[in-house]
Amino acid sequence: MAKITKAEVEKLAKLCRLKLTTKEVGQMQTELNSILDYVEILQKVDVKGLHPTSQVTGLMNVFRPDEIMDYRVEPRDLLKNAPAAKDNQFKVKRIL
C-alpha cells in the first residue's frame, strides 16, 4: 500500500484539528509508516464469507423509557470545568 507522504500527514493533522510542528510532521510520517507497514499483514488474510465485527456483547437495540434520568451530575458542576461560561451555557468564540 502507498506510503504516507508529509503532505498527507499535514492533511490528516488538519482533519484531526492538531497543529503539528514541522518536526512533528516528519516524525509522525516515519512512525505512521512503520505502523502501517506492520498492519499490512492483514491485507493477505482470507476472510471470504465473514462479516465485520463492531461489538462483542450480542446486545441489540438497548432501549430505555424516554424519560429524564438523574445522571448524578449538576449542570453548574459541569460548567465549572468550562474555559468560559455565560448564562448557564458554554461560551465559545464566534462561529459566523
- Chain residues in the site for another protein (CB under 8 A): 1, 4, 9, 12-13, 15-20, 24, 27-28, 31-32, 34-36, 38-43, 45, 47, 50-57, 59, 62, 64, 69, 71-74, 77-78, 80-84, 90, 92-95
Q: Cell numbers 464566534 correspond to what residue?
A: 94
Work out the burial of residue 25: count CB atoms within 10 Å of its CB; fewer than 13 is exposed, 13-18 middle, 19 or more buried. middle
Shortest Å, Cβ 7 to another protein: 13
Least distance CB 76 / another protein (angstroms): 9
- State how far the Cα of 13 lies from the Cα of 10, in Å rounded to an integer: 5
